[in-house]
Amino acid sequence: MYAQMVKSTGQGVKDPSEMTDQERAFQERIDRGDRIEPKDWMPEHYRKTLIRQIGQHAHSEIVGQLPEGNWITRAPTLERKAILLAKVQDEAGHGLYLYCAAETLGVSRDQLTEDLLSGKMKYSSIFNYPTLNWADMGAVGWLVDGAAIMNQVPLQRTSYGPYARAMVRICKEESFHQRQGYDIMMKMAKGTPAQKNMAQDALNRTWFPALMMFGPSDAESVHSAQSMAWKIKMNSNDELRQKFVNETVPQAEFLGLTVPDPDCKWNEEKGGYDFSEPDWSEFFDVIKGNGPCNTERLAARNKAWDDGKWVRDGLMAHAEKKEARRVAAE
């Protein structure tokens, strides 16, 4: 989901003739489909790009709990509450696997957390939009987790072992997330006219922000060809966005809902839907911190961190005492 924020540092792909022997051997391993493991040699730029990508991904999972966590206490039935609770807990787990994967690259989880809380590191723009009614839980599961699956399934084949393996489990859970969202939409869309309107309204508000999750058009994207060569980005943003639209429009039709884009039409020649671009100025504005909920989301994460200080202090004090006892017994 987080391809959108992986920025290049402006370096193109190195020509093999300019590579050191070590760099060439590394690239050859990737071309062969080998996995790179934590203790293997890797170029510094590969390490840094992955830390940013995995870190942003982890942050997105953690911040992504907030728009849905907001609805746990207001879920309409006990069953819906249990499902939503399980889904939000899964997202916490995804964050944890990903922080662990990032730690294997030599960054600490505390450092990543600090960088999120200070606003230095980003998370997916989608979580800076509000969830206004229960149907939003449907639209988020269906479209946001759906877009996440599109991005994450190819990442199961990414070159960095710990990241690829984390993706396998995450993707299994994401498909449950998407199904539960679609199931909510189904109930709402087949319900009373008022419920159907709520479902349509949720789709209207979520559609373009979901398309933005794939990142800017490749023509303008700052993503590096280097990430593709290193197999830490597997598909272009436009390719994934097109795939998402192709799969989602028939699902909307099945619900009896309308995608909020009058130009969204099947194009026989290309074998896919034509559709309108999202408003990219809005996207960049949200990334810069000016979305409807940026301040609220960061404040919530900062509060959680501050409120948890006594637990961290207690654990540290306990570990120190235990260590002191161990040393004294020696």
Query: Which residue spans within the chain are E strands per DSSP?
Result: 265-267, 272-274
Question: Quick one: tokens of 24?
Answer: 């060439």
In the complex with Fe ion, the residue whose CB is nearer, 124 or 294, is: 124
Kindly state the smallest distance separating residue 176's Cβ from Fe ion, in Å.
8
Among 59, 94, 122, 297, binds Fe ion (CB under 5 A): 94
Stretch that binds Fe ion, among 59-67, 245-253, 258-266, 304-312 (CB under 5 A): 59-67
Tokens 């399980």 correspond to what residue? 86
Residue 68 is a binding residue for Fe ion (CB under 5 A) = no
Residue 145 is a binding residue for Fe ion (CB under 5 A) = yes
Question: Quick one: tokens of 293?
Answer: 């909920």
In the complex with Fe ion, the residue whose CB is nearer, 103 or 145, is: 145
Residue 57 is a binding residue for Fe ion (CB under 5 A) = no
Kindly state the smallest distance separating residue 90's Cβ from Fe ion, in Å.
6
Tokens 């966005």 correspond to what residue? 241
Q: For Fe ion, what does the binding mask look like between residues 170 and 199, x meaning CB under 5 A?
A: ----x--x----------------------
In the complex with Fe ion, the residue whose CB is nearer, 181 or 215, is: 181
Residues 6+ apart with CB under 8 A from 55: 98, 99, 102, 107, 112, 115, 121
Which of the residues 120 through 139 are near Fe ion (CB under 5 A)?
none
Count of residues touching Fe ion (by CB under 5 A): 6
Residue 297 is a binding residue for Fe ion (CB under 5 A) = no
Residue 273 DSSP class: E
CA distance 9 to 90: 33
CA distance 66 to 202: 17
The conformational region for residue 73 under phi > 0 = left, psi -120 to 50 = alpha, else beta, is alpha
| Contact call for residues 156 and 164 (beta carbons, < 8 A) | yes
Among 68, 91, 136, 261, binds Fe ion (CB under 5 A): 91
Residue 52 is a binding residue for Fe ion (CB under 5 A) = no
**Residues at the contact surface with Fe ion, assessed by CB under 5 A:** 61, 91, 94, 145, 174, 177
